[in-house]
């Protein structure tokens, strides 16, 4: 079987790391070519905001240029490069695509099935990174870390943040709601247990582990979670069911003064409704790492609110994420070349 491999990485998922891991897994006999894309120094395209390529949610690069680079390679390993139907029609030798992401959002999956191209991904690659970031995000809001920092940067000593009517609360006395019980949500639950908080989980498609049940974690409906949680943390995937599901109705059900944390995906949230809930005081605050449009417009209304912390979609960015994803992709390449079944087919 041909072992010609095209690697399209970027400045996070480095092509050199992919190549190193593939060589270690498969030996020196593989023919590797490498291309580095300029993400994240330059933004990717987002289908959530109206993609130029039908069916692709997030991708980086011009399809014609990527197809030219892939050429006659039989295997492609990539992070963000698009794979479209028209590209596959130009790439008859391509039989295998490894996407180093939790989902193949940069691939037209129906087209790959029609052309007999195997696609694999790397689920859970950044689960630990996002879970840790989520805990940091919760603490930044509940313990007023962001508020104190911003005031001092502005030359103001906020002694009033020590007042009983303004100071923060400890996690151990709070109820935290986790929406989505996948690879990341389960890790967030595990980390939260150390703080002694009450933990609620809303996910209609999975059951709690025996350990979580024994530790007092409750599996509840979303409406119940919203009504009871002091902190609401989103970890769901974007589907037709979850797109915009944190809307006016959901926010009206939320406990007054609750905090919303979104380290999942921007399209889960109705941002007009969120702005209204934050500016009216219905929600006490929000920490957002992901957005429906990225980068966000400079005049975006939420940038002006004092009770919002924003970061540029970096929850999953860690060096460990890079090595985990590259190791997983390399193992999938090895298995394909050895004629073994994939571990994570899409």
Q: Which residues are catalytic?
A: 265, 294, 313
| Strand-strand pairing, 58-59 and 45-46 | antiparallel
Residue for token pair 């923060």: 168
At 144, is the secondary structure helix, strand, or coil? coil
DSSP 91: -
| CA separation, residue 154 to residues 101, 285, 287 (Å) | 39, 20, 20
Joined tokens for residue 212: 């979580």
CA-to-CA distance for 165 and 140, rounded, in angstroms?
Answer: 18
Residue for token pair 């933004």: 43
Residue 37 · residue 109 · CB < 8 Å: no
Joined tokens for residue 324: 């985990």
Any residues with CB less than 8 A from the CB of 165 and at least 6 apart, and which? Answer: none
Any residues with CB less than 8 A from the CB of 198 and at least 6 apart, and which? Answer: 174, 175, 176, 216, 218
What are the two backbone dihedrals, phi and then psi, of residue 52, each rounded to the nearest 5 degrees? Answer: -80, -10
At 217, is the secondary structure helix, strand, or coil? coil
């Amino acid at each position: 079987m041909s072992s010609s491999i095209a690697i399209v990485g970027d400045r996070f998922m480095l092509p050199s790391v992919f190549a190193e891991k593939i060589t270690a897994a498969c030996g020196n006999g593989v023919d590797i070519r490498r291309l580095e894309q300029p993400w994240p120094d330059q933004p990717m395209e987002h289908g959530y905001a109206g993609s130029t390529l039908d069916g692709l949610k997030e991708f980086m690069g011009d399809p014609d240029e990527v197809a030219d680079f892939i050429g006659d390679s039989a295997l492609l390993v990539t992070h963000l490069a698009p794979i479209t139907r028209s590209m596959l029609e130009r790439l008859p030798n391509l039989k295998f695509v490894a996407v180093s992401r939790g989902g193949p959002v940069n691939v037209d999956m129906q087209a790959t099935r029609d052309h007999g191209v195997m696609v694999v991904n790397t689920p859970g690659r950044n689960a630990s990174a996002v879970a840790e970031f989520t805990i940091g995000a919760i603490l930044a809001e509940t313990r007023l870390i962001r508020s104190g920092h911003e005031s001092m940067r502005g030359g103001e000593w906020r002694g009033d943040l020590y007042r009983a009517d303004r100071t923060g609360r400890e996690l151990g006395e709070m109820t935290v709601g986790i929406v989505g019980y996948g690879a990341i949500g389960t890790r967030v639950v595990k980390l939260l247990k150390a703080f002694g908080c009450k933990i609620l989980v809303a996910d209609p498609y999975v059951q709690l582990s025996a350990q979580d049940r024994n530790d007092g974690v409750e599996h509840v409906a979303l409406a119940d979670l919203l009504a009871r949680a002091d902190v609401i943390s989103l970890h769901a995937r974007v589907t037709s069911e979850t797109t915009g599901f944190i809307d006016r109705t959901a926010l009206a059900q939320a406990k007054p003064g609750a905090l919303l944390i979104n380290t999942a995906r921007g399209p889960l949230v109705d941002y007009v409704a969120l702005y209204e809930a934050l500016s009216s005081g219905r929600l006490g605050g929000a920490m957002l790492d992901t957005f429906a449009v990225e980068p966000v417009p400079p005049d975006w209304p939420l940038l002006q609110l004092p009770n919002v912390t924003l970061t540029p979609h970096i929850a999953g960015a860690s060096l460990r994420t890079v090595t985990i994803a590259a190791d997983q992709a390399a193992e999938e390449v090895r298995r394909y070349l050895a004629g073994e079944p994939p571990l994570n087919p899409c």
